[in-house]
Amino acid sequence: MKIELTEDQLKMQAEFREFVDNDIIPFAAESDREERMHPKVLEKIIEKGYIGSMLPVEYGGMGMDMVTLGILNEEVGRGCSSARSLLTVHGMVALAILRWGTKEQKQYWLPKMAKGEIIGAFGLTEPNVGSDAKSVEASAVEEDDFYIINGHKKWTTMGQIADVFLIFARCNDKPTAFLVEKDRAGFSTTPMKGLMGARASMIAELHLDTCRIPKENLVGKVGAGLSHVALACLDYGRYTVAWGCVGLGQACLEASIKYSRKRKQFGTPLRENQLIQQLITKMLVNVKAARLLCYNAGYLKEIGDPDTIMETWVAKYFASKMVNEVASEAVQIHGGNGCHSDYPVERYYRDARINEIIEGTTQMHEVLIAMNAFRTI
């Protein structure tokens, strides 16, 4: 199989890189310090249409193929992990509506989401429920033409600024998906501060206290919330996170190369030290390997090959472990400077750690990958 980007993909890659260099990186450190996405970053992502990158043209989106979509997430991840997380969670909600929503839901929500008039967030995790998603405790009870939802969600990315939430709750004791608007009575959010990394992800806790939503806000069927809606969303989430890890790893590599060129110790630049060369080599090879796994997963998605689910697990598993190793090596190359916020690798190191937890922990991926191997080999 020949892996080669098309002329259009190369053009888009250059466009993404320029955008990130000019409109995301200059605000990344400030966003991290203030634990909020800089308004100009959100404005520019919407202005460029990237907020609707994953949606078809018929709904006002950019209709990107899966490889190009991956490249976008790599470049945005290179600039700011929190900005990349916006593309992930917004896309998860938009694609859930696209795949499982009614005609009316698609016509109402998707054009607004493609334009960035509405931001979506994904409400699955709870204080007592993380990896064991089938055990969600939030409940939904049918009453006349409504569902009454009660529950508490946690770690909801972009929960502080989202306009609509894809909420998972048990209905008739079956995990079910619902759309809940932020202005519904009984719905409220609490910002979460003090995160280790991805601090500008605008994470929030969600509170649903006798929150009444119309029946037409049901996504898919009762009982299909996890097996269909959530799993499809998480597959997209893992794919974009894997690409974001590649971008963050690339940022660590580039910062380390630049630093080792100008930094001198014992009268010579660090770049001439063989141990530094060894670290740079390992970083470069690992980033390239992760990128190739992502290309493979994206190609399989584009052609509709069911193996893409497994290959996305593999890509996310390897890329998230890779970026933690690469970020650690970047800090080591920077020495004491790498431990201070004057240098971006300090932020990269913290951001990297988040990726082995979100969209499925490393350990859950090991279970999934091993189980699949036992079934197929």
- Say if residues 351 and 81 touch (Cβ distance below 8 Å): yes
Is residue 93 within 8 A of residue 52, CB to CB? The reply is no
Token pair recorded at residue 116: 């960035």
Cα separations in angstroms, 28 against 20, 51, 107, 297, 356: 10, 18, 35, 28, 21
- Residue of 74, 205, 356, 359 marked active site: 359
Q: Check if 366 is active-site.
A: no
- Quick one: tokens of 333? 């190359």
The full DSSP string for 273-342 is -HHHHHHHHHHHHHHHHHHHHHHHHHHHHHHT-TTHHHHHHHHHHHHHHHHHHHHHHHHHHHGGGGGSTT
Residue with tokens 């650690």: 328
Q: Cβ–Cβ contacts within 10 Å for residue 191, how many? A: 12
Radius of gyration of the chain measured on its C-alpha atoms: 21
Distance CA 52, CA 189 (A): 25
Residues 6+ apart with CB under 8 A from 142: 148, 171, 215
Tell me if 338 sits within 8 A of 349, measured CB to CB: yes
Q: Is 236 helix (H, G, I), strand (E, B) or coil?
A: helix
Structure tokens at 185: 């009575």
Distance, CA of 233 to CA of 226 (rounded, Å) = 10
**Alpha-carbon span 287 to 115, nearest angstrom:** 33
User: What are the strands, taking DSSP E only, across the chain?
Assistant: 120-123, 139-143, 146-156, 164-171, 174-181, 187-191, 204-214, 218-219, 264-265, 268-269
Tokens of 48: 């460029």
Tell me which residues are annotated as active site: 359
